[in-house]
Amino acid sequence: MSGFVSIFFNTQSTSRPTTIIARISRVDNVSFAHLVTGQVDAIAFVQAQDSGLFRDALLEINSISGVEHTSTSVVL
């Protein structure tokens, strides 16, 4: 299972964007994470063997300090 994760940062957070991206990059099953311009703050790509591992990656990303919320687009 693969998907793109749009990541929105908490504007009140004291965490630096580069620190948040470094933490996201270390999450199991995250292939890459980058800061971007536009309506979202960052994008990550998650590739997991099954939906449970995919969900685990999303939950871990959402638990990182500085992440406000995410939106996921699953690749069909």
The pLDDT of residue 40 is 98
Residue 60: its pLDDT value, please?
Answer: 98
Q: What is the pLDDT of residue 70?
A: 98
pLDDT in tens, the chain (76 residues): 999 999 999 999 999 999 999 999 999 999 999 999 999 999 999 999 999 999 999 999 999 999 999 999 999 9
The domains located in the chain, with CATH, are 2-74 (3.30.70.920)
Report pTM: 0.95
Q: What is the dihedral of CA 76, 62, 35, 2, to 10 degrees?
A: -20
